[in-house]
Chains A and B, each alone.
Chain A
């Protein structure tokens, strides 16, 4: 039996259990299944998957979870200490008890996909699947075939959402690994402003497979901040296909922070379709043990006067393997665009590995673009210099590692998230978060 067939069989069983669905959903599901069947899982012969082997997924036998039992006490240990509108999913199943949409303004819809589908909610019918399209990738197709749960967010024009929308995905340890295919659908209305946090976490020893697809549509002038914090379990497998569509004058910012997972692959695409649209990609990936973390990004400058800025940093320890592939594409006659891309990697061990590939493809003649990638190690001279001031070696290494990550972490406006990442990459360092105040005090004293 082929790898693909195992998944198709699971799909068939699920469809029979599920019963009748509206025709349009069934049709999309079928299209997804057909596409997945035709493509099969990618192999390393595919250019886009040259450095990432997905056999651990393809040859796995994953069940689908049926319940969302996760002890609230356990969940509390991993939940981000951020006040927000929260939807929680356990192995892909919606967990109302761990969710909180209290006081959600009327101009904002945040609802689980299952609810949106069963109600045939107007927020899903049109846009669902629009960006992933017909020629979508194998994993996006698989997601479409299985999609049942996830989050639908619709923000009315002009609305400034007062608190972050938090989507928490918990992975639970069990004897049978499970898979989930969450779907995130966001429509940000004209001139709206919102922050969305995807947070992947769970039991330390879980080993499940998450295959998430996100579609983000930003109308004119919308401002959308998108955090993705992906933490332990270290044995989870995680594939994410994120597609952003930006209208005129919209601003999208992605903070993609990868800390967990045995096998992680992120595809992030932004289509800059209207003049004045700008996109910022900040990424930090930290791999240890035998983790494999692959980030593929693409910015499509489809319109003139668009702007993109990308800064990805990788820190790899032990035998971890990182991949960065960033592409900036400038469509014919998209003049006066600016596209900047930088990737820097830090190898903390001799056996860590990085494959970095920045790409530029330009079909316009009046553009400003740059890209570059560097890879290095911690500066032993600097470690020595810090130690001669009484700072122990672990702290010195942490300090320098954090300094490396700083360019990205400093952009993270949410301290709770920056702190989590700092702790993971640099260990507990003294007082980082009081420094800004200290310097102000110093300046004031000097006046």
Chain B
């Protein structure tokens, strides 16, 4: 599904990713872990198309298509969705409007008609319930005045409505208390499906107790230095990244 090959990325002339290679197949849940500054967030930002990141070498393909040639919105329409570590507040734009516009943009790109209003509301209502969110969220401006936990839940709500093929979640657990994390984890787990892949980017192992990954990659200094299964995350928790860095060196 997603193929990242020998990716080199610089930010303000500083090389952050230094030859990263990663393959994610449909049905898999991957976790990328690593110390601060290793380039975890850079990877998801480049895949989503954020400005300010220069790809100097390598490639990213999604279902065979060159992601780096796609507009930001085309990536999302194709099913590549990023959940932000710090969701942006969008004053004046109601959540319901964002959800409807985004869903219909995706449907349009796939040659489908707009979803009829009753069907759309039924879908949104179901997902809201799942995320333990009140209907009043829909009328509020996107993330405006939301608490940290509300913002993260709102990111997952968008995922549940938009049903991406690849959901990338950047530090989705940061700032969450245990109850909020369970709700978020339940939301993410409900996305697990044969035709879908999930990429978790996280600093801490804690999240992976709730969302058990199929593969864990350790990202250090711009490269994946080790790949394993969920056990690897537990080892990292116990021993830290230092041992890995040494063995990679």
> Which A residues lie at the B interface, using CB under 8 A?
379, 381-382, 384-393, 395, 399-400, 402-404, 406-407, 429-432, 434-435, 437-439, 441-443, 445-446
Contacts and interface: CB of A to CB of B under 8 A. Distances in A.
B73 A441 contact: no
B42 interface: no
Interface in B211-227: none
A390 B124 CA distance: 17
B92 A430 contact: no
Contacts of A390: 73, 76-77, 102, 105-106, 109, 162
B206 interface: no
B57 interface: no
Contact of B48 (A386, A388, A434, A441): A388
B249 interface: no
Given A385-B90, A432-B97, 4 more contacts: A385-B84, A389-B81, A389-B101, A439-B96
Contacts of A402: 92
9 contacts: A382-B90, A385-B90, A386-B98, A390-B77, A391-B101, A403-B141, A429-B101, A446-B125, A446-B134
B92 A404 contact: yes
Interface residues of B, number: 50
Nearest to B120: A438
A445 to B, nearest CB: 4
A434 B117 contact: yes
Given A390-B77, A390-B109, A403-B91, A446 B101 contact: no
A390 B89 CA distance: 17
B196 interface: no
A403 B121 contact: no
A399 B93 contact: yes
A389 B102 contact: yes
B158 interface: yes
Interface of B: 48-51, 71-73, 75-77, 81-82, 84, 87-94, 96-98, 100-102, 104-106, 109, 114, 117-118, 120-122, 124-125, 128-129, 134-136, 138-139, 141-142, 158, 162
A388 B139 CA distance: 21
Given A388-B49, A400-B93, A430-B114, A441 B121 contact: yes
B157 to A, nearest CB: 12
Given A391-B102, A442-B125, A400 B135 contact: no
A389 B88 CA distance: 12
A431 B107 CA distance: 15
A412 to B, nearest CB: 15
Contact of B51 (A384, A403, A432, A442): A384
Given A388-B48, A389-B158, A392-B73, A435 B97 contact: yes
A310 B87 CA distance: 33
A73 to B, nearest CB: 32
